[in-house]
Amino acid sequence: MSRLLIIGPPGSGKGTQAEHLARHFQVPAVSTGDIFRSNVRRKTHLGNQAARYLDDGHFVPDHLTNALVKDRLLESDARKGFLLDGYPRTAPQALELDSMLADHGHVLDAVIELTAPDAELEERMQRRALEQGRTDDTIDVFRRRLDLYRRQTHEVVSVYAGRGILVSVNGSGDPGGITAAAIAAVEQFLAAPRPPS
Which one, of 86, 30, 91, lies nearest residue 59 by Cα? 86
Lowest mean pLDDT among 76-80, 137-141, 152-156, 172-176: 137-141
* CB 83 within 8 Å of CB 6: yes
Mean pLDDT (whole number) for 23-50? 92
Q: Where in the sequence numbering do the catalytic residues fall?
A: 14, 89, 128, 134, 145
- Whether the pLDDT of residue 195 is over 70: the answer is no
16 is in an annotated binding site: yes
Which pLDDT value is given to residue 136? 60
The pLDDT confidence band at residue 196, using thresholds 50, 70 and 90, is low
Which one, of 29, 35, 14, 188, lies nearest residue 110 by Cα? 188
Which pLDDT value is given to residue 78? 95
60 is in an annotated binding site: yes
Amino acid at 185: A
What percentage of the chain carries pLDDT values higher than 70? Answer: 96
105 is in an annotated binding site: no
Give the domain ranges of the chain.
Answer: 3-30+82-190
Write down the pTM of the prediction.
0.88
Q: Which helix H or strand E contains 83, and what residues bound it? A: strand 82-85
14 is in an annotated binding site: yes
User: Model confidence over 51-68: pLDDT tens digits?
Assistant: 888 877 777 889 999 999
Residue 83 β-bridge partners: 4, 29
Query: Top-level CATH class of 3-30+82-190?
Result: alpha beta
Please compute, for residue 140, the number of CA atoms within 13 A of its CA located in the half-sphere on the CB side: 1
Signed CA dihedral, 157, 3, 105, 35: sign only: positive
Mean pLDDT (whole number) for 43-49? 91
What percentage of the chain carries pLDDT values higher than 90? Answer: 62
